[in-house]
Amino acid sequence: MPKYELLPSHFFQKNRENFAAEMKPNSIAIFHSNDLQPRSGDTTFTLRQNADLFYLSGLDQEECILVIYPNCPKGADYQEIVFTKATNDYIRVWEGYKYNREQVTQISGVRNVQWLDSKDILLNDLICLADHVYINGNENDRAHTEVRDKNERFAAEIRQKYPLHQLERSQPIMKKLRMYKHQTEVDTLQKACNITEAAFRSVLKNVAPNQNEYEVEALITYEYLRRGASGHAYNPIVAGGANTCVLHYNDNCRVLNDGDLLLLDVGAEYANYAADLSRTIPVNGRFSPRQKAVYNAVLRVKKFAESQLVAGNYYEPYNAEVGKFMESELIGLGLLDKETIAKQNPAYPAYKRYFPHGTSHHLGLDVHDLCLRSEHFGVGMVFTCEPGIYIPEEGIGIRLEDDILITPDGNFNLMKNIPLEADEIETLMNTR
């Protein structure tokens, strides 16, 4: 069984019901688990489950297939099926625990559980009865990969074997559903955030000049694992000095010098849900006056941005308003002037020289979670809020980020207990 506490099966059952309600009549939907990716030689990377399969079933094992066929002509027993590999004595000796049928039902709520060796005959029977086949591709608008996963390979097989069937895309439905978080998801995200908080507080107690960035990464990893997280939700950014200005810095191999800033962009993964935190701290425990001025400017932008993360707003006007607020802060820091802003290219505003990335993204089973960017912000959505200012010529890069849930009564910060104010960070670092 996994390290984390299992999510309730009724959560996954409801997700399947919601998906089925969006399907066309007489349709079958088929979802595959992720591959075990080759690492080197005969070794593989640790499995990270396909987020959509997990969302619909809770199954966290390789070689699992979920089938959803509402109103299947064969009867209610065939409306939901899981195929998984049969375990045996050899697998138990060499690999250990694998699901049995009862455990699949306990986790997912799916009652019809079949071994994979029965898949070809039964799945062919069901597809021949259906008019439409829903296939799940990777349509995350940030995805760029040349590797074809099982869902994409399966789509090619279906096109060849059943050329007269109508193929449908599962992703538009999944985006619609996954944007809005159930209470079970919020609770799980909160656990991931709490684990991330513990790791950050440990950093505040232990970081010091002459340490290496990877020592800080190791400390964070230790705190994650000892609290039941599977590890990092994404490649951790542990950036000191000039590296604070590299947005996706992952080398984590530089010595931290006295007077440096340390930018952390890290988050624990718990039950496949991602936390996403950014904090920037002084390695020696004290901000310089200039560092503190930039820090407080970023903090003011962050607080303003959070006030705009409200139901009914949209990405474009949200980013535009945050950009205008950032302009005023950059003028106050002497980095921009009104003349430069007056002459700026509207397609690439002047503030982007120092704040080149977006302010927010959806968060959930993926750190950059599925979403429909044209959709207005709504109650139940979880966003990051992460403005930053990067001044390479000064070796100052500061990013501050929390995870925000939109509720009927306004925002709820899932990271509200994680130290943020500059004075609080200095106090904690100097009372250890």
pLDDT at 391: 98
pLDDT tens column, 298-345: 999 999 999 999 999 999 999 999 999 999 999 999 999 989 988 898
Residue 373 CB neighbours (<10 A): 11
Rounded CA-CA distance 81/85 in Å is: 13
Greater model confidence, 267 or 431 = 267
| One-letter amino acid of 108 | S
pLDDT in tens, 174-208: 999 999 999 999 999 999 999 999 999 999 999 99
Average pLDDT over residues 243-248: 96
Task: Calculate what percentage of the chain has a pLDDT beyond 70.
Answer: 100
Other CB atoms within a 10 A radius of the CB of residue 362 amount to 22
Kindly report, residue by residue over 11-40, the tens digit of the pLDDT.
Answer: 999 999 999 999 999 999 999 999 988 899
- Rounded CA-CA distance 195/229 in Å is 8
pLDDT at residue 347 greater than cutoff 90:
no
User: Which of 85-89, 177-181, 278-282 is predicted with the least confidence, judged by mean pLDDT?
Assistant: 85-89
- pLDDT 10s digits, 46-67: 989 999 999 999 999 999 999 9
Residue ranges of domains in the chain, CATH in brackets? 9-178 (3.40.350.10), 183-429 (3.90.230.10)
pLDDT, residue 404, reads 98
The mean pLDDT value of the chain amounts to 95
Q: At what angle do helices 315-332 and 289-308 cross, to 10 degrees?
A: 160
CA 249, CA 235: separation in Å to the nearest integer? Answer: 9
Longest C-alpha distance within the chain, in Å? 75
The CA distance from 404 to 385, in Å, is: 7
Supply 209's token pair.
């000049």
pLDDT for res 98? 85
What is the pLDDT, as a whole number, of residue 111? 97
Distance between CA atoms of 237 and 274, rounded to whole angstroms? Answer: 15
Question: pLDDT by residue (tens digit) across 123-144?
Answer: 999 999 999 999 998 878 777 7
